[in-house]
Structure 1
Amino acid sequence: MSHRADALAGRARPDDTMFLADRLSLSATTFDNPRFTTEDVVPWLERARKEGGFAVDRIPFAALDQWSFDHETGNLGHSTGRFFTVEGLRVTGGGWSAEGITQPIINQRESGILGILVREIDGVLHLLMQAKMEPGNTGLVQLGPTVQATRSNYTRVHHGGHTRYLEYFVGPDRGKVLVDALQSEQGDSFLYKRNRNMVVEVFEDVPVHDHDVHRWMTLGQVHSLMGIDHLVNMDVRTVLSCMPLGRQRGALDESVVGEPADSFQSALSKSLDRSEQAVHGDLELLTWLQDLRTENSHSARLVPLRELAGWSTDEGAVTEPSNSCVKVIAVSVEAGTREVTRWTQPMLQFPSQGVAAFLAKRIDGVLHVLVQGKAQPGIRDAIEFGPTVQCVSRDWRALPQGEWPPLLDLVLGAHAGQVRFSAVLPEEGGRFYQRDNLYTVIEVGDEFPDAEPDTMRWATLTQLKDLLRCGNHINVEARTLMTCLQSLWQGPQ
């Protein structure tokens, strides 16, 4: 056991966030795992991909099994009335065009569970990770959480197998809950959808049902994989963003030993320290967000899918003429390692790869990120904190540069020395077909003003993490970027 682990071993285990942050910080700076090395991860996922018997094919709507278009509304739904429906959405006001926008949207009101099981091994918290197949994932198999299931799935509406490890997250015999928050999903594609983000600790041996599907890894190992394109799925990233981390001190301070006091890593460490001064107070940030929500004037309402003006349905897709927006398609799936091994379903397909970016700046030595109040029609409270730049819904490349979102030109024109993180990462693979976005963190210097636009505010990572404990304040794209940033906060490998 390392001296860092010794520093934690034998200490009381109070139910406080700071102690949990210390334990997670230790895991985040631990990269040695003799039971399953980081170098083993990619071959493990590739083997799961080759041996899983996976196949995903586009099919016409007529080939869907138990899915059909309603004769009156044109909405696409399942014969059980469960899972989800694809309906129409009309949005007016709030900065959208006077005529409003119309689009298909997934109406899935039930909340699922995204859960990571943790256990101390040799004094260090390890995470039980899964080689998770989803039909919309690029490459099909990616690194997923222990449990990733909708309520319809884990209540077995599909009459398939049981969800492994579900018993640790629900019911009277579940483990010790460390993190539990309802978080929103993509507000441009889901109507009011939320998932329960959970981290649960167990203190006894946990059977690994199948070493080809689940493996124990440290948080440091998972962080070190974040920069690999298409590897860490969205559900892992959102749960990791909810985990508290703290600035390391004393025996836990190895990650910043030898780092200059004004280094990026030092500024990032301070951004996770509640004792450091932020540009805005916590209540000031929250009040600003509530002001935006109160003043918001947009209106979103469901309409029959068949009544979407300008949209048409043929045998294989629901589309609009420009093809610059989402379309509805159908797929057939074979998946030997899933609870159900064969099924068909509708999915949403997006026109191009989007961009989500944080601008980051050291202000008085503390790293701040520029967040915007991002309005999306499918968000329950209309507006949540989002990335500095978020253009992931429509094909921004088809727009004249003068109509680009604010600061997109700065993000795309950043030189290599400014890019702190950049990777193409997948979105939710259970409902979206090969939807990938570029996630990037760009550090700006003194040439970028501290003064903020009306729709943006500087915030530290610890402020955003505190808001995550309440849920419904940080959107899913911003949560991914928070995880991307915290993956840079690590010790020597």
Structure 2
Amino acid sequence: MNDRNQVIRYILESWASEENPWNTTDELLQWIERTRQETTVSIRKIPYAYDGYWHYDKNELGIVNDQRSYFSVKGIRQKDDTGVKEQPIIVQDGIGYLGILAKIIDGRMYFLMQAKIEPGNINHCQLSPTIQATRSNFTRKHGGKEPAFYQYFVKRQNCITIADQIQSEQSSRFLGKRNRNMILLAHDDVEVPSTHRWMTLGQIKKLMQYDNIVNMDTRTVISCIPFVFSELDEETLSAVRKLFHEEAFFRSFLEHSSGDAIRKIYGKMNDIKMTGNFERELIDLHALKDWSYDGSAYASEQGNFRIVFCDIEIEGREVRCWSQPLLETVGKSEFGLPYQIGKDGIMRFLVQTKCEIGCFDRVEIAPGIQKEPLDERITDPVDKLFFEKLERKEDIRFRGLFSEEGGRFYHEENWNTIMEFKEGELEELPDGYFWADFRTLNTLIQFNNCLNIQLRNLISLLNI
């Protein structure tokens, strides 16, 4: 099958369905829970020590391991028109794979997902992509096994590439870290190990309604599906329209032209990249102002996170036992995607340009609400309206807790909310905010380093 329009129709029909002859959604939940219970997992915080495999190296500006692999934690200093900011930052060279294998079976598209345990996951086991591998994993620097399904994504033989983009991770924690987000449609039979299960996109979306079940990597890959490249004929369009429960979302999804919004957003992003003072440099971790060892972690009273060390044992991993630093948050962040249905009957979403210390290209497009634990909650009319409605529990269409990257963060979970702003509630947008329909956002996702991880993850929560 090489007809992209037909592939997109299969994806939409999979999104609208939870029918699965192998696993009901409840059985998938039970499988994830059973994996958690049956897998030996031990994660223990240990004293902050530099005499083992991980250690401080002044020449390297921070915490590294003996092989200089995986990642390092260094200091970073940024100077711009708002002042000087310093903090630790994860430096992880090399682009990893986040890939989902799909297959059409008996006329329906299914996605091959795995129940994967990560050391920092708050509940250990979460639904992950078919493959989730750093460069150190797939080059086997640690001496472990080759990741399952790796060859599919390297060779891409007898497969159709549905999505293939290099996307960013959390720019407040990582320095320019990126992963290759891929979805491949396999033609050949696929041997499925006990760690993996086939499921519809609708089942994945249903599992997103449960706190901390679907991991960050699954959500970002799902958000990259390129609906915008389809040009459905009238017959297909009519059939697809019946899958949508809300006409305003359908029109936002497939009908509306996105050119004007894209020009405005790119204009603002380019202005930010070209104007103002901006300097950024890596510095010695131990030279950071207001950061120090407090007896259990490397921390600061002004920091949204702290660095802890952990001894880890996970059964079934390429390497079973190891120790490593993890970033532990000091609270829950609040990520919100407001939307509005205009007089023209089209649903549009509120986004903003946002600069973060680790941004690959200085600025990305973020959700309308992106607040870390210690951030000031209300700084403009958008914040004010969102948090007032949140307090009143008004017009909340979705709200759930989701974990962040369990391989580098310790028990970090954040609130993700989709909320309706009624027309007229927000009289004027502050500078740097934009209304954009789904087609606009889906277009921008097809370009590297444009939409940040928080916005992509919120987009993945949208349902037809």
Give the TM-score normalised by structure 1: 0.88
* 2:211 is equivalent to residue 234 of structure 1: no
* 2:16 is equivalent to residue 36 of structure 1: no
Aligned partner of residue 330 in structure 2, secondary structure: coil
Among all aligned residue pairs of Structure 1 and Structure 2, give the percentage whose two residues are the same amino acid: 33
Higher strand share: 2
CA shift at 1:323, angstroms? 5.8
Contact 2:304 2:331 in 1 (8 A): no
Partners in 1 of 2:445 and 2:159 — Cα distance?
Answer: 21
* 2:76 is equivalent to residue 62 of structure 1: no
* Other-structure match for 1:312: 292
* 2:70 is equivalent to residue 83 of structure 1: yes
Partners in 2 of 1:232 and 1:128 — Cα distance?
Answer: 13
Pick closer, same or farther for the CA change 1:464–1:221 going to 2, 3 Å.
same
Aligned partner of residue 402 in structure 2, secondary structure: strand
Cα shift readout 1:408-459 (whole Å, capped 9, x = no counterpart) = 3322321444101110111111001111110001101123246422111111
Partners in 2 of 1:382 and 1:287 — Cα distance?
Answer: 14
Contact 1:27 1:124 in 2 (8 A): yes
- Once the two structures are overlaid, the 10-residue window that deviates more, 297-306 or 156-165, is 297-306
Partners in 2 of 1:405 and 1:75 — Cα distance?
Answer: 37
Contact 1:371 1:386 in 2 (8 A): yes
Pick closer, same or farther for the CA change 1:289–1:323 going to 2, 3 Å.
closer
* Other-structure match for 1:157: 141
**Structure 2: 5+ residue stretches without partners:** none
CA shift at 1:65, angstroms? 4.3
> Residue type of the partner of 1:346?
P
Task: State which of 257, 264, 269 in structure 1 corresponds to 2:250.
Answer: 269
- Once the two structures are overlaid, the 10-residue window that deviates more, 20-29 or 65-74, is 65-74
Pick closer, same or farther for the CA change 1:462–1:20 going to 2, 3 Å.
farther
CA shift at 1:244, angstroms? 2.8
CA shift at 1:172, angstroms? 6.2
* Other-structure match for 1:4: none
Partners in 2 of 1:472 and 1:204 — Cα distance?
Answer: 33
Task: State which of 404, 407, 410 in structure 2 corresponds to 1:433.
Answer: 410
Pick closer, same or farther for the CA change 1:447–1:348 going to 2, 3 Å.
same
Partners in 1 of 2:322 and 2:159 — Cα distance?
Answer: 32
Partners in 2 of 1:428 and 1:420 — Cα distance?
Answer: 25
Contact 1:65 1:343 in 2 (8 A): no
Pick closer, same or farther for the CA change 1:164–1:409 going to 2, 3 Å.
same
Contact 1:279 1:458 in 2 (8 A): no
Cα shift readout 1:259-304 (whole Å, capped 9, x = no counterpart) = 6xxxxx221121111x325593433432332223222533221101
> Residue type of the partner of 1:122?
D
* 2:313 is equivalent to residue 334 of structure 1: yes
Cα RMSD after superposing both structures: 2.1
Residues 56-455 of structure 1 aligned to structure 2 (within 5 Å): 56-62=43-49, 65-72=52-59, 75-95=62-82, 98=83, 100-171=84-155, 173=157, 175-210=159-194, 213-245=195-227, 249-256=237-244, 265-273=246-254, 275-277=255-257, 280-313=260-293, 316-320=296-300, 322=301, 324-363=303-342, 364-392=344-372, 394-396=373-375, 399=376, 404=379, 407-414=382-389, 415-449=392-426, 451-455=428-432
* Other-structure match for 1:8: none
Aligned partner of residue 260 in structure 2, secondary structure: coil
What is the total number of aligned residue pairs between the two structures? 455
Aligned partner of residue 430 in structure 1, secondary structure: coil
CA shift at 1:20, angstroms? 3.1
Pick closer, same or farther for the CA change 1:293–1:174 going to 2, 3 Å.
farther
Task: State which of 440, 448, 451 in structure 2 corresponds to 1:471.
Answer: 448
> Residue type of the partner of 1:435?
E
Aligned partner of residue 7 in structure 2, secondary structure: helix
- Once the two structures are overlaid, the 10-residue window that deviates more, 405-414 or 329-338, is 405-414
Pick closer, same or farther for the CA change 1:272–1:207 going to 2, 3 Å.
same
CA shift at 1:377, angstroms? 1.3
Partners in 1 of 2:350 and 2:51 — Cα distance?
Answer: 44
Aligned partner of residue 235 in structure 1, secondary structure: helix
> Residue type of the partner of 1:31?
E
CA shift at 1:192, angstroms? 0.6
Partners in 1 of 2:291 and 2:410 — Cα distance?
Answer: 19
Contact 1:422 1:440 in 2 (8 A): yes
* Other-structure match for 1:13: 2
Partners in 1 of 2:77 and 2:218 — Cα distance?
Answer: 32
Contact 1:64 1:344 in 2 (8 A): no
Contact 2:241 2:250 in 1 (8 A): no
CA shift at 1:316, angstroms? 3.3
Contact 1:60 1:330 in 2 (8 A): yes
CA shift at 1:63, angstroms? 7.6
Contact 1:94 1:299 in 2 (8 A): no
**Structure 1: 5+ residue stretches without partners:** 1-11, 260-264
Contact 2:340 2:347 in 1 (8 A): yes
> Residue type of the partner of 1:13?
N
Contact 1:75 1:306 in 2 (8 A): yes
Aligned partner of residue 167 in structure 2, secondary structure: strand
Pick closer, same or farther for the CA change 1:172–1:385 going to 2, 3 Å.
closer
Contact 1:64 1:345 in 2 (8 A): no
* 2:28 is equivalent to residue 49 of structure 1: no
Partners in 1 of 2:277 and 2:128 — Cα distance?
Answer: 38
Task: State which of 440, 449, 457 in structure 2 corresponds to 1:480.
Answer: 457
Aligned partner of residue 347 in structure 1, secondary structure: strand
CA shift at 1:356, angstroms? 0.6
CA shift at 1:125, angstroms? 1.1
Cα shift readout 1:168-202 (whole Å, capped 9, x = no counterpart) = 10136473321100001100000010000000111
- Once the two structures are overlaid, the 10-residue window that deviates more, 475-484 or 22-31, is 22-31
Contact 2:166 2:180 in 1 (8 A): yes
> Residue type of the partner of 1:252?
V
> Residue type of the partner of 2:315?
G
Aligned partner of residue 414 in structure 2, secondary structure: strand
Aligned partner of residue 251 in structure 2, secondary structure: helix
Contact 1:326 1:348 in 2 (8 A): yes
